[in-house]
Amino acid sequence: MKIKTALAHKISEDITSLELVELTLPAPEADEVQIRVMACSVNFPDILMIQGKYQFQPPLPFAPGGEFAGEVISVGSNVSGFKAGDRVVSGTRYGGFAEAINVPQALVRKIPDSLAFDKAASYSTAYMTAFVALTIRGYLQPGETLLVHGATGGVGLAAVDMGKYLGAQVIATGGTDEKLSIVKARGADHVINYTQADGSLGGFREKVKALTDGNGADVIYDPVGGSVFDESMRCINWGGRILSIGFTSGVWPKAAVNHILIKQISVIGVRAGEIGRKDPAIGRKNEETLFQLLKDGAIDPYVCASFPLEHAVDAMKMLEERRVVGKVVVTMNGYTPKHLG
């Protein structure tokens, strides 16, 4: 069948090099499910793969897009449990910026009619990071105080959502009051704008202490690094846990070991996907648990914007320029999300 897809034909710093083309998608192989894609979420690895900066590099040409949802078109001869018309979600490392895709059956899950395609396409990466960080690595307990940095981004807003589900008091930080108002409306107990007058990050430690009777946060979720990590070391409770998720600030901080010793705190690295690769059984259990939370409505991905496939570059630019709150999706086959923002 003929489909449209957005392909990267070369490695380029300029993501506008992505080109919309028409090609022939073959029938699914014996163990594959052919999916009509309705929505595909946009993640930073999509941009990094085009630029040749990601640890995994697909063979050229390739279509970005690793998380998508849609309807089954057809199935291979060995496939059972799926039929044409089933609503499904799937994930691969790339290929989702397309009107249709063939995916191994093992990577496909049915979704209920009540779950919108855009939300189904937006949960896996962000919420798996939050789930693994807060439950497996951070041991977040009901009643504890969770400080979430970068709370307006995809992994940050997922951590706010997951933290409230786990029964924590959540303090969320971010760079603009406008974005933080959305985070507050999404359930954060308190929000703090950590952007300083000179444009630097930090300056939240006294506010966190004031909100915690001087004790500091029990668990700190940090995808930012840099000065945000340094400040976090000064507003963490005795015996607290700092979860290092990433370094969106571009700066790799150095932990002050004397603070770690005196406050008896733990600095814990989190690579959610790597846990599943090292221990597939735990990985599968995590996936099942998280998917059940999604189906039950216990977690609710926030999608702020959508772009049709023809404007997939605009969706990636929005993410690259840090204008996204939560998630942005690319849509295909006439699908339009009903509730954005």
Position 320 scores a pLDDT of 92
pLDDT classification of 58: cutoffs 50, 70, 90: very high
Q: What pLDDT digit, counting tens, does each position of 96-137 carry?
A: 999 999 999 999 999 999 999 999 999 999 999 999 999 999
- Give pTM, 2 decimals: 0.91
Same domain for 174 and 207: yes
- 90-116 as b/e: b if 16+ CB within 10 A: bbbbbbbbbbbbbbebeebbebeeebb
**CATH number of 324's domain:** 3.90.180.10
Only one residue has tokens 């855009």, namely: 118
Domain containing residue 175: 127-274
Q: Inform me whether the pLDDT recorded for 318 exceeds 70.
A: yes
Proportion of the chain above pLDDT 70, given as a percent: 99
Quick check: is 295 in a domain? no
DSSP code at position 325: S
Statement to judge: residues 259 and 223 lie in one domain: yes
Domain presence at residue 14: yes
**211 and 314 inside one domain:** no
Cα–Cα distances (Å) from 41 to 84, 105, 190, 265, 274, in that order, read: 23, 20, 28, 36, 21
Tell me the pLDDT band of 195, cut-offs 50, 70 and 90: confident
CATH code where residue 220 lies: 3.40.50.720
Q: Cα(303)–Cα(37) distance, rounded to whole angstroms?
A: 17
CA 98/CA 4 separation, integer angstroms: 6
Residue-level pLDDT at 197: 63
Shared domain check, 228 and 137:
yes
Q: Give pLDDT, residue 244.
A: 94
Q: Do 129 and 155 meet the contact criterion of CB atoms below 8 Å apart?
A: yes
Whether residue 131 sits in one domain with residue 116: no
Same domain, 145 and 227: yes
* Mean model confidence pLDDT for the chain: 94
